[in-house]
Chain A
């Protein structure tokens, strides 16, 4: 069973640009979550999508947005990049339903964004 796939793995952008990151979840998983990981703040929740609907959103500015497609694949976009947006962006998939016994998240290896 293929794991969570994130693309691109590494990217370098300059301030003011925008970036789009992609995530393909594990087959059968309908929930996709995005987290920002930085050395100082750890893992911070960005948003979660289930069946193309955003169910939860973290405390990030509106420059951070996402969407989910009918095949459960998800993208997140960051506009007007700032130096502080440099981070590892992790995507995680799960069943996302109460009927399953656990809320286990399966993470991808992340997209490392560097903003210059």
Chain B
């Protein structure tokens, strides 16, 4: 059972454009939704995260939009740059419960063309 569904699998954007990656979750107990960025040959690194008490969180060019009723959240990358080319993973967790694991989406390979 895939608890976090991520789309698209791959995305090609021109420099300066907006990259949008979407995720949907099933478990309503999830209350922590991070996005991780992974460059080739490296481990994933936390990019930005949100809790369901807010509908949007912005950090620089990166914004998470969260829709609790639809059980969906998305990552928007404004003014996309070639250096943003990486694989992006959304994830979900029930923070503070007895479950300390993150459930990841399958990832989106983002390519930003110069």
Q: How many chain A residues touch the partner (CB < 8 A)?
A: 27
Chain B residues 76-114 with CB under 8 Å of chain A are 89, 93, 95-96, 98-107
Task: Give the CA-CA distance A38 to B61 in the complex, in Å.
Answer: 29
Interface size for B (C-beta < 8 A) is: 24
Q: Is B49 an interface residue (CB 8 A)?
A: yes
> Which residues on the B side are within 8 Å of A4 (C-beta)?
43
Q: Which residues of B contact A (CB under 8 A)?
A: 32, 34, 36, 41-46, 49, 89, 93, 95-96, 98-107
Give a binary string over A46-75; 1 marks a CB under 8 Å from any B CB, 0 the rest.
Answer: 001010000110100000000000000000
Which residues of B have CB within 8 Å of A106? 45-46
User: Are the CB atoms of A98 and B34 closer together than 8 Å?
Assistant: no
CB distance from A19 to the nearest CB of B (A): 19
Which residue of the partner chain B has the closest CB to A101? B95
CA distance in complex: A106, B42 (Å): 11
- Choose one: B32, B44, B100, B107; the contact of A56 (CB below 8 Å): B100
Chain A residues near B99 (CB-CB < 8 A): 56
Query: A43-B89, A98-B95, A103-B95 in contact; A90/B100 too (CB < 8 A)?
Result: no
A16 CB, nearest partner CB in chain B, Å? 29
Q: Which residue of B lies closest to A49 (CB)?
A: B100
A83 proximity list for chain B (CB < 8 A)? none
Interface centre among A50, A105, A106 (most CB of B within 10 A): A105
